[in-house]
Structure 1
Amino acid sequence: MKRFLTSLTDGRGFDIGLVALPLGFLFVMSGLPLIYNVLMSFQEVDMFSLGTFIRPFVGFKNYIALFSQPETWPILRNTAVFVVASIAGQFLIGFGLALFFWNDFPGSSWLRGLFLVSWVMPGLVVGAIWNWLLSGDFGVLNYFLRELGVISSNIFWRSDPHYSLWAVILANIWLGTSFNMILLSVGLSGIPKDLYEAAELDGAGVFQRFFTITLPMMRSTIGAIISLGLIFTLQQFDLFAGITSGGPNNSSNVAQYWAWDLSFKQYDFARGATVSVIMIVFVMIAAVIYVRSTRQEVRG
């Protein structure tokens, strides 16, 4: 220990300290709660035993009980629909905007910055905005849909079980589209324009250039963006708390909101921890895919 402290004072071990301090912070703030949560999913935990470490070990009983509940599979289905629809919507609209802003025009920088407003806003604020937009009686969305002749009567987006999940999906797409646009714009800027000029001289059309140049050159970037989108979408909680609260009748409930509801509203901490562990597994898989995608991008 004395030798280590001496190395710090003379500068030889300063780099070790720079790495050790943030790693220690991450372990205390993230590692220990993660380990605690995983252990709790294998124990019988209630309000009285939560503050103690004297709890019966039940093995996989919590997992078996969780998947035996009738609401589990509809909630997991909602989670899958929410993730797939959100990522697809954010990516496709973001890609379209990135292509639109690829060619400079007067005011393009200002407009591009304006699209970032949604990304920097807190989720609860976005939820409050979309509460107003999706209001069944006075909502702006219903007004425009009526004016366009798409609907003849108001849709109660937040309280109708057929639309409640899609209400949150719309808000989440709006929230994450600008993030996709910026990352895709960076990827597009790295493609040499000489390739497009050569392909155009060879008679390649717009769609041919897109599928033979743009998509192959951005493959690793697209993989990284989709992986990040999966991570962020699986962690999305604020929009559900601000718009539907998982209702009505779990029609818009998803795993991440259900874990909070089980733990802090129903005080079933063991089941809440079990749902969280399942979510952590999917997030870790997405993180591995993201790391692999970024490595391929660096090598390319």
Structure 2
Amino acid sequence: MANVRSPLLYFFLAAPVCYLMAFIGFPIVYNVVMSFQEVNLGNIVDFLRPFVGLDNYRTVIADPSFQRVFINSLLFVVVNVVAQVSIGLAVAIFFSQRFPGAHYLRGLLLASWMLPALVVGALWKWLFATEYGVVNHVLSTMGFIGSPIHWLSDPSVALTSVTIANIWFGMPFSMILIAAALTSVQHEHYEAATLDGAGAFARFRYITLPAIMPALLAVACLVTIYTMRAFDLIFAMTQGGPLDASNVLPLLSYQFSFQQFQFGIGSAIGSFSFVIVFAVALLYVRTLKKEAIG
């Protein structure tokens, strides 16, 4: 019986491997190869192109715009990870309580995450509009501001604007994963702690948090990966402007490749993003292994 199933087993294993190699592995390798070549509109269709070694990487690192965008990306990722995991944890704990309509409200919240990123970007661009935006209208009505804030055209607040929008967009994903982890916590532990006189904060600190810590780390890794890939939402809101104030690495790679037609430099920037995402992905896999063993 084992001999009959072996060829079928290899077939089902070969199918996803071939898919990954064709649609994920090849683009990654092709991008890395391009980062070591001089690629422009004149030779992009050629099989052999001039080899420039690490020149593209040196050009990228020396470029002031890359340095600013790299810092923007780090800030964007760190704030998103902290906010999405923290808010997602708070919302997951809230919806873990039993009250009428909890499941429907949680599903409604998750529906916002299912929207296309371009749609979400267009929505928040309208909300943050200077003259007719809802955010400025609400803040002005409540007396917090005396004049409209230029959320998307002021370099000092543009990154904050796209960060707020991305947190709103990604938080439901963190919430649903953390909510699933909360279901694994034994209620008997809470009951015993309550009988011993432990308050809500003590139960959270000594029971809930240790139990779901591996899940929180895994969620943080996933949020980091997804945030490093952020493109559509920022492109719809600010296109990285003004003056690269809200620009991030994926968008900068696009700009060099498809606006300035410096495909080698764009590929080098993409390689920086890939290295960061790959390192976080390895951490995520290691976290899952530890969680499975534990």
| Pairwise TM-score range, normalised by the shorter structure | over 0.9
Question: Secondary structure at the residue paired with 2:64?
Answer: coil
Whole-angstrom distance in 2 between the partners of 1:146 and 1:87: 30
Match of 1:268 among 262, 265, 285: 262
The letter of the residue matching 1:31 is G
In 1, distance between residues paired with 2:6 and 2:77?
48
Partner of 2:233: 239
For 1:68, the equivalent position in structure 2 comes to: 62
1:180 paired to 2:174 = yes
Name the aligned partner's letter for residue 210 of structure 2: P
User: Aligned letter for 1:97?
Assistant: V
2:152 to 158, 162, 167: 158
1:57 matched to 2:51? The reply is: yes
Matched, 1:92 2:78: no
Structure 1 residue ranges without an equivalent (≥5): 1-6
Tell me by how many angstroms 1:147 deviates.
Answer: 2.1
Offset from partner CA, 1:240-299 (integer Å, 9 cap, x none):
110000001111111110001110011010110000001000111111111111122222
SS at match of 1:218: helix
2:131 maps to what in 1? 137
- Structure 2 residue aligned with 1:126, among 111, 114, 120? 120
Q: Cα RMSD between the aligned structures?
A: 1.4
- Cα distance in structure 1, aligned partners of 2:293 and 2:140: 52
The DSSP-based 3-state class of the residue aligned with 1:19 is helix
Aligned-pair CA distance for 1:11: 4.7
Paired letter, 1:156? H
User: Where does the alignment leave 5 or more consecutive residues of structure 2 unmatched?
Assistant: none
Percent identity over paired residues: 41
Partner of residue 226, structure 1:
220
Partners in 1 of 2:142 and 2:203 — Cα distance? 35
Aligned to 2:286: 292
- Quick one: distance in 2 between partners of 1:97 and 1:208? 19
Aligned residue number for residue 81 of structure 1: 75
1:25 maps to what in 2?
19
The residue identity in structure 2 corresponding to 1:137 is E
TM-score normalized by the length of structure 2: 0.97
**What CA distance in whole angstroms lies between the structure 2 residues aligned with 1:299 and 1:151?**
53
With over 3 angstroms needed to count, the CA separation of the structure-2 counterparts of 1:183 and 1:11, relative to structure 1, is closer
Letter in 1 for 2:197: G
* 1:255 has 2:274 as partner: no
Q: State the secondary structure of the residue aligned to 2:96.
A: coil
1:171 and 2:186 equivalent?
no
Amino acid at match of 2:173: F
Q: Distance in 1 between matches of 2:202 and 2:50?
A: 63
TM-score under structure 1 length normalisation = 0.95
